[in-house]
Amino acid sequence: MLTPLVRCLPRLRRGPRVRGPWAVASAALALAVSLVAAMPASGAGAASGCRVDYTADEWTGGYTAQVRVTNLGAPLTGWRLTWTYGGDQHVTSAWNATVTQTGHSVTAVSTDWNGALATGAGADFGLQGTRQSTDPAPTGFSLNGVPCGGDGTTPPTPPPTTPDTPSPTPPAGCGTAVLCAGFEDQTGSTPSGDWRFTAPDCQGTGTAAVDTAVAHSGTRSLRVDGRAGYCNHAFVAATADLSSVDPVLYVRMWVRHTTALPASHVTFVSMPDTSQSGRTLRVGGQNGALQWNRESDDATLPAQSPAGVALSRPLPTGSWQCLRFAVDTSAPRLDTWLADEQVPGLHVDGVPTQDVDQQWLSRTVPPRPTALRLGWESYGSGDDTLWFDDVAAGPAPIGC
């Protein structure tokens, strides 16, 4: 009988996390657990080591988690990952794995397409669940019955931040932004200077004006009175050229509105996209939650299924909200944050996720936004009054 030799390098983070060059994580509670273990194989197909990266986005009453399991031992033809919840978390659905739960014990089993893991290879899956009160990080990860940790040795030193891996809390302000507007240079009620009113397709009764009564900072903001109906487009377009910003375009804005996002599709940010021959990338809402929409094929992010919509967030009314997003111009990847919380349903990392981005990833040509428009476009019902302030766009992350 072999006596296992275990080397465990646990890491627990609460708060911000980084997920590639387009991700800065939630200021709401987020959990990330990385466990690395190495032990001798005990038979054919047994794992001799594994790493688990468990990243959760949580809100009152629920959570989602992205899990990556990496095989550090002999090649596997199928895997079974188990762990234990210490709180009252309860898994309700999953994708890219079959996940079951008995009491506090959870088991995830590979699918037909991701079961084979060579040495050093990994598989990703996700899950959604409910929680009521306590929510400590999960423990006791095991791959095919072999523990992924247990002796509590010193955690590894985090890798240094590279130029294309932003810090978890990017600086506020404008920094290297090519567009930076607080609208304080506006001298009249009609947008002028670096901003112009536009109705890209057709114009109705929607209006836009410089407002001196409501502002996030200073004394001015941009106000849009949006009207329902397809031909009521009303936008204010920045004259700044964004076509040379790469490899990632980061945008930050403060937005305030009066009416909850409707069930029908609406847009309040529109960006002409040369990869779509000038058609637009859109940020707006549908089914009461934030969504991305691609004009050329009407793809949405997330998918407009109940599970997909649940992974997005509503846009709160009656208060200023910091909305940030990052669009990768070299690959079909993007990310979105609301009040510094990464929105899991508005995240594209190139790996298809059920109910999130399968439709979005059907197009592989990277986007190339050239300009920024702020306003209102309804495709059915939905009046709204919105204000925009402290808008910035550039090649580096811009904080709230």
Q: What is the DSSP string of 140-184?
A: EEEETTEES--S-PPPPPPPPPPTTS--SS--SS-TT-SEEE-ST
Helices (H), 199-247: none
What residue type is 124 in one-letter code?
Answer: D
**Structure-token match 């990017």, residue found:** 170
The residues near 253 (Cβ < 8 Å, ≥ 6 apart) are 269, 322, 323, 324, 374, 388, 389, 390, 391, 392
d(CA 273, CA 286): 21
d(CA 20, CA 16): 13
d(CA 285, CA 378): 10
pLDDT at position 170, please?
A: 82
Q: What is the DSSP string of 183-212?
A: STT--SSS--TTEEEE-SS---S-EEEEES
d(CA 33, CA 40): 23
Q: Would you give the distance in Å from CA 345 to the centre of its chain?
A: 6
Report mean pLDDT in 10-residue bins for the chain, 400 residues. Answer: 34 36 36 38 45 84 86 88 89 85 88 86 87 80 79 32 46 90 95 92 88 97 92 92 95 97 95 95 96 96 95 96 97 92 94 92 94 93 93 95
Kindly provide the b/e burial profile for residues 316-344, where b requires at least 16 CB atoms within 10 angstroms of the residue's own CB: eeeebbbbbbbbbbebbbbbbbbbbbbbb
pLDDT at position 44, please?
A: 31
pLDDT at position 128, please?
A: 83
The residues near 15 (Cβ < 8 Å, ≥ 6 apart) are 25, 26, 27, 29, 30, 168
Q: If DSSP codes are grouped into helix, strand and coil, which group holds residue 360?
A: helix
51-55 long-range contacts (CB < 8 A, ≥24 apart) are: 51/122, 51/148, 52/81, 52/83, 52/141, 52/143, 52/148, 54/83, 54/137, 54/138, 54/141, 55/17, 55/19, 55/25, 55/30, 55/31
What residue type is 48 in one-letter code?
Answer: S
- Residue 247 neighbours by CB distance under 10 Å: 13
d(CA 9, CA 183): 50
